[in-house]
Amino acid sequence: MSEEQQAYSYQAPDQYLYNLLTGGGGAFGLLPEVQRYYAKQIDKLGQKDSSPFTYSGERIADFSPREQYAMQLADAGIGAYQPYLARATGLTEEALATQAGGISEARAAQLRAQQQGEDYTRTGIAATQAAQRGLDPFLQRAERDVRRSQRDFDPSSIDAFMDPYEDAVVQQTIKDIQKGQATGDIARRASDVAQGALGGSRSRISQQESDDAATRAMMKEVGAIRSAGFGSSRDAAMSEFARQRAADAQAAGLRSGLGAQAYGAGMGTAGALTGAGQQLYGMGAGSSGALAGLAGQLSGAQMGAAGAMQGLAGQEVGFRQGDVASMMNVGAMNRARNQALMDLNYQNFVGQYNLPQQLMSGYANFLTGAGPLLGGVGYSGPTQQSPYGAVTTTGMAGGGRTDGKPIPEGNKGLAALANKAPEVVKTMGFQVPQKKRAGGIVNARFPMSSRKLGA
């Protein structure tokens, strides 16, 4: 197909809208501003505050002073319970040591008391045995004295009480009797001489009778003397025997009493020693129990103090946790507010960063929405021509839609002519209807196309 057989067709927006898109006629040009905006963004790419990705403002709020103080409290609280636990451990160990010491001391006191009790008891037993041994001699002597006091009277003991002058008295008595007989014999012989009978039988009989009388007298006197002496000796011997037996009996009683006294004293000493041993044992046992009780009380008090220390440790931790939680809660509110301010600053930055694009996008949306209301410029002809030449427009920037009336409905010939030669139809006072072309619908938002048409 030759060049003369080719035809050109244009469909352009109204020139005013075109100027708003391209910046012609001193208008704000959307496309140039978009180009400059993106060129500027590309030139500043990576620079500080050139995009939300290089935003230099603070994005994350730091911990508030209260939160930092809470952290300090938390840090200070780490191991703060250790002194309490250590003290509780020490008190527990002291309680165990006190209890062990008290038990040991109580055991020692118990052993001392037991030893002292045993010593005194042994001493008491020894004193009892000594008292028994001391009593035995007294009892033996007393028994001998009792046996002596019970012996029969020994007549042979009378000789010890015989009058040593009894023989002299007897001899003197015999001499006196013999002297008296001799005197009587002298008188009798004198009488016999006087009578002449001396030497006679009568005289001999008288002499015999005198001798017999003298013998009887001597016997009588000697017997009386001997009897009296024997009786007196017997009585003295029996009296002495009785006295001695009474003395033996008394001595037996005295020895028995002394033995009993000594035995009682020994038994009293033994009893006192045994009682003292029992008292010492009781006192030692009581002291042992008292020591054990005191040790138990002190140990219990120390264990109670240990428990109190453990409780204080828990309370201290709880109080610190409460302070930390309180500071954290208040600090979290402060930090949340600071974070909100930082987020607001960032949002403002992002908003300012996107605002030109949003404005241009809104500007473009406005143009695309309101631009078609201005109509457009169409051209179809054998030569290329500017869409904004001497064509009659609405007067806005030398372009706009042509005046005319719509092609009557049913006038297919005029409609076909409008498709083939729209400018002719326009000169006829009719509006040329827009039609689809290769680039899409002719009535697009920004229809501006040019293409060669077949002959």
pLDDT at 449 over 70: no
In a domain, 193, yes or no: yes
In a domain, 55, yes or no: yes
In a domain, 449, yes or no: no
SS (H, E, C) 244-258: HHHHHHHHHHHHHHH
Once rounded to an integer, what is the mean pLDDT over residues 410-430?
Answer: 73
Rounded CA-CA distance 390/426 in Å is 14
pTM of the model: 0.41
Count structural domains, the chain: 1
Least confident of 145-154, 195-204, 231-240, 334-343: 195-204
CA-to-CA dists, residue 407 to 66, 117, 352, 373, 422, angstroms: 81, 149, 51, 20, 11
Q: Using pLDDT thresholds of 50, 70 and 90, give the confidence band for residue 5.
A: low
Domain membership of residue 221 as a residue range: 42-372
pLDDT at 39 over 60: yes
pLDDT at 154 over 60: yes
Once rounded to an integer, what is the mean pLDDT over residues 181-208?
Answer: 69
Give the position of tokens 């009790």: 117
Q: Using pLDDT thresholds of 50, 70 and 90, give the confidence band for residue 15.
A: confident
In a domain, 344, yes or no: yes
Q: Using pLDDT thresholds of 50, 70 and 90, give the confidence band for residue 390.
A: very low
In a domain, 89, yes or no: yes
In a domain, 132, yes or no: yes
Least confident of 186-195, 209-218, 340-349, 376-385: 186-195
In a domain, 386, yes or no: no
How does the average pLDDT of the chain come out, rounded?
76
In a domain, 129, yes or no: yes
